Amino acid sequence: DAGITQSPRHKVTETGTPVTLRCHQTENHRYMYWYRQDPGHGLRLIHYSYGVKDTDKGEVSDGYSVSRSKTEDFLLTLESATSSQTSVYFCASQRGLEKYEQFFGPGTRLTVL
Amino acid sequence: QKEVEQNSGPLSVPEGAIASLNCTYSDRGSQSFFWYRQYSGKSPELIMFIYSNGDKEDGRFTAQLNKASQYVSLLIRDSQPSDSATYLCAVNRRNYQLIWGAGTKLIIKP
């Protein structure tokens, strides 16, 4: 399994505050992804990265931004948290395009009050 | 129509029986298909992938792909209580992305 960690694992914050979630992988995978998972919706892609400083939007990107300054780190920022962003956030990585297998971090449970 | 559809379940199967999970997809250009298992409160774990028509077997798990009918299935033989989980189907899309079904909850009854 890919070595992927996420921090923090749990966070409670208040509406309007900025929040940054971190994803760190040790597999030298080129592609990294941020998903959110909510009941009844499955996994929804927020943003993804196809290389250092190369990122693009997913299907639910409003209110989120990302940065990738190193291969191993992918940051997700909620610019001004809202209650609708209460969710479980998963980071995933993928080696390359020859295969599409993605490996997941343990997740971050975020609660916005 | 969702791009990847799964029956949400729950699917209840007796211990020792075969569990059959199904997934349909809409993009005929998809070439890679994945089954992930997710225990409650945990992250998705890749258990099977298949790239070509036919069957692929790995231990008690068999993935079946039918591109003409645009469905992929997962069979679990000799089901165990530890197989109780939500099973997610994922299909590749262009631009490095996977498209995910909402998952089927499987319950194995002892």
**Beta carbons within 8 Å of A99's beta carbon, 6+ residues apart:** B32, B49
Residue from the list A42, A100, A107 with its beta carbon closest to the beta carbon of B100: A42
CB distance B102 to A45 below 8 Å: no
- pLDDT digit string (tens) for B49-71? 998 888 999 999 999 999 999 99
Q: Please answer yes or no on whether A106 and B42 come within 8 Å at the CB atom.
A: yes
Residue A1 has pLDDT above 70, yes or no: no
Contact residues, chain B, for A106 at CB < 8 Å: 42-43
Q: pLDDT tens string for chain B (110 positions)?
A: 789 999 888 999 999 999 999 999 999 888 899 999 999 999 999 999 998 888 999 999 999 999 999 999 999 999 999 999 999 999 988 767 899 999 999 999 99
Q: For chain B, state the CA radius of gyration.
A: 13
Calpha distance A73→B80 (Å, rounded)? 38
The tokens describing A73, both together, are 């780190």
CA distance B17 to chain A (A): 27
The residue length of chain A stands at: 113
Question: Residue B87's pLDDT is what?
Answer: 97
| Tokens 């929804």 -> residue | A44
The answer, for B26 touching chain A at a CB cutoff of 8 Å, is: no
The CA dihedral of B23, B40, B44, A17, to the nearest 10 degrees, is 120
Calpha distance A76→A9 (Å, rounded)? 14
Best of A100, A101, A109 to mutate (most B CBs within 10 Å, chain B): A100
Calpha distance B78→B15 (Å, rounded)? 7
- pLDDT digit string (tens) for A40-98? 788 999 999 999 999 999 999 999 999 999 999 999 999 999 999 999 999 999 987 77
Q: Which residue of A has its CA nearest to B101?
A: A42
Question: Residue A2's pLDDT is what?
Answer: 56
Strands B104-109 and B97-100: unpaired
Kindly state the average pLDDT of the residues A86-111. 91
Question: Residue B95's pLDDT is what?
Answer: 66
The answer, for A71 touching chain B at a CB cutoff of 8 Å, is: no
Contact residues, chain A, for B42 at CB < 8 Å: 106-107
Q: Please answer yes or no on whether B46 and A101 come within 8 Å at the CB atom.
A: yes
**pLDDT category, A39, cuts 50, 70, 90?**
confident
Question: Residue A95's pLDDT is what?
Answer: 83
Question: Residue B16's pLDDT is what?
Answer: 97
Residue A100 has pLDDT above 70, yes or no: yes
How far from B89 is each of A59, A108, B28, B73, B103, CA to CA, in Å? 18, 22, 16, 9, 7
CB distance A103 to B43 below 8 Å: no
Residue from the list B46, B92, B101 with its beta carbon closest to the beta carbon of A103: B46
The answer, for B44 touching chain A at a CB cutoff of 8 Å, is: yes
Q: Which residue of A has its CA nearest to B48?
A: A101
Question: Residue B53's pLDDT is what?
Answer: 83
